[in-house]
């Protein structure tokens, strides 16, 4: 079982729909990252969060540390949001974990149709 699980694996939506992508993890973490990978292959960092909620434009990321769960929401989705969204976590210090490393989920492929 992966330490970072994302759901769904694939998601299709009509333009304008509200999108939710989920990320669950099984270890104690110090931070969680959301990344976006466009069809051209480039990877861009969207959010880094350790508690609460962050918002940037139409994107909202939330995290619940107690439940070991994070969500990425896209409001008023648009075809240009079509991409793979990747969740990654950094271990918290202690328990022998290397806190310099990120552990990645396998990604959620989102397609938004006009």
Distances (CA, A) of 76 to 16, 20, 57, 111, 112: 4, 12, 11, 13, 10
Question: At its nearest, how many Å lie between other proteins and the CB of residue 96?
Answer: 15
Q: Which stretch binds other proteins (CB under 8 A): 13-21, 54-62, 66-74, 94-102?
A: 94-102
**Which of 108, 92, 113, 112 shows the shortest CA–CA distance to 7?**
108
Contact status: 104 vs other proteins (CB under 8 A): yes
Please select the residue that binds other proteins; options are 53, 55, 78, 101, rule is CB under 8 A: 101
Question: At its nearest, how many Å lie between other proteins and the CB of residue 16?
Answer: 30
Q: Which stretch binds other proteins (CB under 8 A): 21-29, 55-63, 72-80, 83-91?
A: 83-91
CA–CA dist 103, 100 (Å, integer): 10
> Given the structure tokens 């396998």, which residue do they identify?
106
**Which of 87, 81, 79 shows the shortest CA–CA distance to 103?**
87
Footprint on residues 2-61 left by other proteins (CB under 8 A):
2, 4, 30-31, 33, 35, 41-45, 48
Q: Is the dihedral of CA 97, 98, 100, 106 positive or negative?
A: negative
- Where on the chain is the footprint of other proteins (CB under 8 A)? 2, 4, 30-31, 33, 35, 41-45, 48, 86, 88, 90, 99-107
């Amino acid at each position: 079982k992966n330490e970072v699980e994302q759901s769904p694996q694939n998601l299709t939506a009509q333009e304008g729909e509200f999108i939710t992508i989920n990320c669950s993890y099984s270890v104690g973490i110090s931070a969680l990252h959301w990344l976006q990978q466009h069809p051209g292959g480039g990877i861009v960092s969207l959010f880094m969060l350790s508690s609460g909620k962050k918002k940037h434009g139409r994107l909202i990321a939330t995290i619940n540390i107690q439940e070991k769960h994070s969500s990425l929401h896209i409001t008023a989705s648009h075809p240009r949001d079509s991409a793979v969204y990747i969740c990654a976590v950094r271990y918290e210090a202690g328990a022998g974990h290397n806190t310099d490393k990120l552990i990645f989920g396998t990604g959620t492929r989102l397609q938004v149709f006009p």
